[in-house]
Amino acid sequence: MRRLEHFPNLVTMFFVRAREKGGAPFLWIKRDGQWVATSWADAARQVASLAAGLKAVGIRRGDRVMLVSENRPEWCLSDLAIMAAGAVTVPTYITNTERDHRHIIENSGASAVIVSTAKLAKTLLPAVLGSSQAQTVIGIDDMRAPSAGLDFHSWHKLIADHPTTVDDAEAAADFTRDDLACIIYTSGTGGAPRGVMQHHGAILHNVAGCANAISEDFGWEDEVFLSFLPLSHAYEHTGGQHLPIGLGGQIYYAESLDKLAANIEETRPTIMFVVPRLFEVLRARIIKTIEKQGGASAYLLAQALDIGAREYDGRVRLIDRPRQLAVRALFKPRIARKFGGRLKAMISGGAPLNVEVGMFFQALGLTFLQGYGQTEAGPVISCNRPKVGLRMDSVGPPLLDTEVRIADDGEILVRGELVMHGYWRNDAETARVLQNGWLHTGDIGDIDAAGRIAITDRKKDLIINDKGDNVAPQKVEGMLTLQPEIVQAMIAGDRRPYMVALIVPDPEWTQEWCARLGNRCDFAALATHPEYRAALSAAIERVNKDLSVTERIRRFVLADGPFTIENEQLTPSLKIRRHVLKQVYGERLDGLYKG
């Protein structure tokens, strides 16, 4: 079994791997239709020189540097250079508003900002000018220097003007695993984002634990990652950047979500970190496509799903063998090619995975592993392991050297080097979640005999009805969005006699209804059409059949449009922002209890 060395910090890990890999490709991006690579050696040279440039413009040890960029090689190089300069990276979502940026600048006390494009700078610079903090701005792409009194620099010129040897930069990286590496602001599903202080050891603990699992379950070879989740999210920051560095792997940066399917076929990743929502949508598209094809394709999909369910439950019969052979020979290779042909595993995190979604991809021959974590824990706490035995209703055993126990009230508690040092400038909240060395996750769950963790729900999200019964909303919402008529949902019912739902109908299904009703169809009219509403009611009733009386949805209201990142109803990791939806739709949801 291969194990990672006990590195003192993330920068040293990178420089060691760069020295080992030399001219081998490291970071890939598509330019003018062609994939272009930055080698490990060139990446190390750029990191060393950029770190020297940051020091030259006044960045001191411990300073916070805000990073606003899309996923691209410069994101990784900037992050490493900030840390190599002894500073602390503050990753920031590119979808942030000016208000969001100002909050993070002021709260983190950032002294400098690195921004990738002129377009992103338009939203960012007013926040910088309106703050009393950051006065240094570094632009990655060509952009016009702000006219106001900011200290503006070109990212590429800083590198060119401060040539430094990699050896000197590596020698200067004398910080420890306990030193602060980054402040990652949570995406705020329930309120204002808080800055999680992740130290080098927390991320290195995650890297070592994930590498250990990969080595034992799949073998550690020349790994290839496709990065498409936001690098400003802890999940991608650790899993999609620092884990590949620890493994000496390659990172391809996807062009966009729209081109993700094509990028997967082109880059042929071995490991992908994903979020459930994207694969709920992909599952629906695969089913629709194959159903339209009909014939042998539809038959083979049905057979694959039936056999997959039997294999999962250990109920495969002798008479199933011919069907198994046909599916493996004719169907699964086609699916595998769509995912590049060498994918070891897709690791789902960031939100609960519906069992049916995991079972679907597993039945198609793709290893789909559900993980669990929080930004406050590096962020990976556990992950399903083939070696232990896959259960789609669990999130697997804890990572190596990670302690997990269940409190008396069912809350999951975590202890180990992966646990954050606290929330930045928020002692009260830190004291609430960190007690006697244990991180109180706010999640409810249990641990089975094999050591696998199962998550029931978020402690703070549990709905308590007027009789005192608990309802886990994420379970019900996940079942609703598996219906072909429904694309998004949120349920409510706290201190109420029954559950109600806020529904976003599937747009393709809605368009089919519009086609039936003629060209003048509009959503407002359709929303009150009795047959359309009856069809949605039928979809909800299908879900209700599998729910307890307490969980069942009695009434629903339609949202005005989809939940998106832009309207702040989704986090950048595609989780619903309950507090925002309740503000927007609270009156209408309350109205469902009248009359």
Evaluated on CA atoms 68, 247, 224, 368, the torsion sign reads negative
With contact defined as beta carbons under 8 Å apart, do 503 and 559 qualify? Answer: yes
Both structure tokens of 235: 């999940």
Measure the CA dihedral 143/147/150/153, to 10°. 30
Question: Which residue segments constitute the domains of the chain, with CATH numbers given?
Answer: 10-175+228-248 (3.40.50.980), 272-341+344-458 (3.40.50.12780), 463-591 (3.30.300.30)
Give the C-alpha separation, 70 to 53, whole Å. 22
DSSP character for 375?
G
CA–chain centroid gap for 568, Å, is 17
Give the pLDDT of residue 192: 67
Residue 548, CA distances (Å) to 356, 357, 462, 498 in order:
19, 21, 15, 12
* pTM, two decimal places: 0.84
Give the pLDDT of residue 573: 74
Helix ranges, 271-390 (H):
276-293, 295-313, 321-326, 332-338, 355-363
Give the pLDDT of residue 1: 40
CA distance between the termini of the chain: 65
| DSSP class per residue in 309-326 | HHHHHT---GGGHHHHHH
Give the C-alpha separation, 516 to 33, whole Å. 41
Give the C-alpha separation, 163 to 49, whole Å. 5
Both structure tokens of 91: 């990753």
Give the pLDDT of residue 34: 96
Which of 251, 208, 226, 229 minimizes the C-alpha distance to 40? 251
Contacts of 94 (CB under 8 A, 6+ apart): 68, 69, 70, 120, 230, 232
Label residue 315 exposed, middle or buried (CB < 10 Å: 0-12, 13-18, 19+).
exposed
Both structure tokens of 319: 């008479």
- Bridging pattern class, strands 195-199 and 422-423: antiparallel
Q: Which residues of the chain have pLDDT under 70?
A: 1-3, 147-148, 187-192, 459, 518-521, 595
